[in-house]
Structure 1
């Protein structure tokens, strides 16, 4: 794989300077190719894990990011349950509507005029 080099030139007070970010790009590409996140500080054992542990085995309090993530996941779960119940309601209502229309058609067919006289005895 060829080395990836990007140079940015900035003009400041008549002087030019070159900035190279090859190492950062290679690190990002390596992390992505290994299945890690692009930003190493976004997630991981060092950022997600507790800062300390109790020797007697008590659980440590949740970190702020963990609390926010838990609240977000609970919001997602309640939204999913709410939308699922709405979907079930809509399906049942549609089935009831179709059933009622069919019953109306059947009622009209049952109530139509009946033959009289000799045709009735047949």
Structure 2
């Protein structure tokens, strides 16, 4: 029974590895599985892989005893640059959405204005000096 359970576990492990990662011909992967613990980290409000953000990646590697700030590492500089680029891109997209909303509102107002202008420019019934509608009497000779 233990052999059957072990075989089932082995097959399940191979299926999981085949679905999610590169497998060599022997059926074993030599690369690390990056999603181990991902659900737990996400449920705790952390990044999915543990290396995207957090104190280990965002804070300096060391500090001086006299209180001077430590120089930023290359990875920290790169991440800050990426964050700035992402923020600029988001701001550009927000501006585009705002422009599209304003343009749509303007189009709706123009359409409504054109509609009222067309209604007002229709032929109107003749009225006399008292405001009564004048009906034309046909000539019967």
Q: TM-score range by the shorter chain?
A: 0.5 to 0.7
Within the candidate set 93, 109, 118, 1:108 is matched to 118
Q: Could you tell me how far 1:51 is from its partner in structure 2?
A: 3.5
How do residues 56-71 of structure 1 correspond to structure 2 at under 5 angstroms? 56-71=66-81
Deviation at 1:88, TM superposition (A): 0.5
Question: Counterpart in 1 of 2:106?
Answer: 96
Larger radius of gyration: 2
Tell me, what secondary structure is at the counterpart of 1:72?
helix
Alpha carbons of structure 1 residues 120 and 67: separation in structure 2 relative to 1, 3 Å: farther
**Structure 2 stretches lacking a partner, 5+ long:** 15-23, 133-141
Q: CA, structure 1 residues 109+32, in 2 after alignment: closer, same or farther (shift >3 Å)? A: closer
Q: What is the TM-score with the length of structure 2 in the denominator?
A: 0.56
* Structure 1 alignment gaps of length 5 or more: 11-18
Tell me if structure 2 keeps the 8 A contact 1:53–1:60: yes
Q: Specify which structure has the higher proportion of strand.
A: 1
Which fold has the larger relative contact order, with Cα–Cα distance below 8 Å and residues 6 or more apart in sequence?
A: 1
Q: C-alpha offsets along residues 16-43 of structure 1, whole Å, 9 cap, x if unaligned?
A: xxx797xx66xx74x4465277877x46
- How many residues were matched structurally? 107
The secondary structure found in structure 2 opposite 1:121 is coil
- TM-score (normalised: structure 1): 0.63
How much does 1:93 deviate?
0.4
